[in-house]
Chains A and B, each alone.
Chain A
Amino acid sequence: MIVRLEVNGERRLVDLPPLTRLLDALRGPLGLTGTKEGCGEGECGSCTVLLDGDPVNACLVATAQCEGRSVTTVEGLGALDGRARETGGLSLLQAAFVTEGGAQCGICTPGMLIAAEALLRETVDGANRKPTDTEIREAVAGNICRCTGYQRIVDSIAQAAALRRRVSPADWVRENLPFAKAEGTRGLL
């Protein structure tokens, strides 16, 4: 079945069995392996992506359900600032996860960032206010992290909320993450 969808702002087309999980479409033919699989049954949140702006579990969404809809993955977050190149591909939210300790092993991080991005759009962008601690914890309550104890994640999101729309992402990232290199440093040897 041919499904047309918009992924990270680009029109894409996949030809897959209709119930292929969106997760497999992203990681396979769409080549976006930033979205991770931790449990395959909607329990860990590692595969969270935005579907028409709302966080969903890509392991529980059929590709056919995405016809004509927009999908945002972690690879699309940096581009949202519109100045991705100047920031090494990092949005303020992503940068805050690096400086505040929100990312440790990193496997839950893409899903966590997506859930946080939806919250910041709703609160900072939509209502011009910072989310509360409880709102942050509720926004990521569907994303399991086994490394951090969540405190640094909450702190990272709070910092991103405080900076969002107040500082220039390019300037902030340049200043606070002078050596940011977004390319993966490891692979098959």
Chain B
Amino acid sequence: MKLFTYDAVSSLPAALAARRGTFFAGGTTLVDLMKLEVLTPERLVDIGSLPLTKIEATPARLRIEALARMADVAASHDVLRNYPVVAQALLRSASPQIRNMATIGGNLMQRTRCSYFRSVAEPCNKRVPGSGCGAFEGDNRSHALFGGGPACVATHASDLAVALVALDATLTLTSAKGSRDVPLAEFYLLPGSSPSTENVLAPGELITAVNATGGPRAARSLYVKVRDRASFEFALVSVAAALALEGGMVKDVRLAAGGVGTKPWRLAAAESALRGQPATLAAFEGAAKRSLEGAMPLSGNGFKTSLLERTVVKTLARLGGVS
């Protein structure tokens, strides 16, 4: 590991006063990537003991403070009852040990699992801007169908973020100047030509909470994750869906996909195709086809297009109670 300075702060104002530096809380991403020398921050600000761990999940409103642990949110009965997609996404993430350390804010800020990013011997524009992308024409089985390009095709790794996009969640971002709320879908940036910039956080700004509105749609939500083994593995494809039904018709729907996008991928075309349609398998299949709009398969991940389509159908069918 390279040399750096370390400060532990115990209050939000102290954290925000730090201005320069890399925040860390649970440390599960940072300790790992610093050991690999993928990340070499000069200054670390440990915010792990800030009092930002509250979880509120009433039928009307979800608010999770950024330092709540994944394990605690996943274990919350209110979250499971009113926002099942969130609890499911968390329980299908990582391992029990990691969920006990990792925080909600850290989960949303976690770095991609792209093996080129994680290996200092390989080129990666995200890690070393301008060094190239090893995956675009390399081994890209786990890489993105959506939102990528020759500069970067790394997928966003968070299951939780996919679930939250399906709930139209917002993030509260706080800096020394004050707070602002940003929709999660707009928080993440596409790689474009500068994959090293992943989000809209300003220097010194911190995620302090995740917010979402409740209701029938949020309460009828589901996370389906396809992966290479039954635990402790990132998604090949995942789908988060939230469905409001009325008289057998789809009143409203949100669909987001993981494992396929350079950021959590909202399936907007599929949503609009489904709105106002009867909740039938045929309608779900029709909508699922639209979820592939804009997909750009690479040499090794073509299987994900059809897998995504089938997983969307599966998720909607289970939510809609049809088979």
Contacts and interface: CB of A to CB of B under 8 A. Distances in A.
Interface in A10-60: 17-19, 21, 40-43, 45, 48, 51, 54-57, 59-60
A41 B6 CA distance: 21
B96 A43 contact: no
Interface string B28-41: 10011011100000
B44 A141 contact: no
A162 interface: no
B71 A41 contact: no
B232 interface: yes
Given A19-B1, A61-B27, A65-B46, A45 B97 contact: yes
A41 B96 CA distance: 14
A54 B97 CA distance: 8
Interface in B230-279: 230-232
B1 A115 contact: no
A42 B97 contact: yes
A141 B98 CA distance: 11
B134 interface: no
Interface string B189-226: 00000000000000000000000000000000000000
A78 interface: no
A55 B100 contact: yes
B31 A62 contact: yes
A2 interface: no
Contacts of A139: 96
A89 to B, nearest CB: 25
Given A21-B35, A141-B231, A62 B27 contact: yes
Contacts of B44: 18-19
Contacts of B1: 17, 19
A21 to B, nearest CB: 6
Contact of B98 (A42, A67, A115, A138): A42
Contacts of B281: none
A60 B100 contact: no
A60 B34 contact: no
Q: Which secondary structure characterizes the binding site on chain B?
A: mixed
B149 interface: no
Given A51-B100, A55-B96, A42 B231 contact: no
A76 interface: no
Residue among A65, A67, A138 facing the most chain B CB atoms (10 A cut-off): A65
Contact of A142 (B8, B48, B95): B95
A65 B67 CA distance: 14
A65 B100 contact: no
B232 A64 contact: no
B28 A54 contact: no
Contact of B48 (A45, A56, A65, A141): A65
Contacts of B36: 41
Nearest to B32: A41
A1 interface: yes
Given A21-B35, A141-B96, A64 B8 contact: yes
Contacts of A1: 6
B144 to A, nearest CB: 22
A155 B34 CA distance: 38
Interface string B57-99: 0000000000000010000000000000000000000111110
Contacts of A67: 8
B101 interface: yes
A147 to B, nearest CB: 18
Nearest to A58: B97
B6 A56 contact: no
Contact of B31 (A51, A55, A60, A138): A60
Kindly list the 7 A-B residue pairs having the minimum CB-CB distance in the complex, ordered from nearest: A142-B95, A141-B231, A18-B6, A54-B100, A57-B97, A60-B28, A142-B97
Interface of B: 1, 4, 6, 8, 27-28, 31-32, 34-36, 44, 46, 48, 71, 94-98, 100-101, 230-232
28 contacts: A1-B6, A17-B1, A21-B35, A40-B35, A41-B32, A41-B36, A42-B28, A42-B95, A42-B98, A43-B232, A45-B97, A55-B97, A55-B100, A56-B97, A57-B95, A57-B97, A57-B101, A59-B31, A60-B97, A60-B98, A62-B27, A62-B46, A64-B6, A64-B46, A139-B96, A141-B232, A142-B94, A142-B231
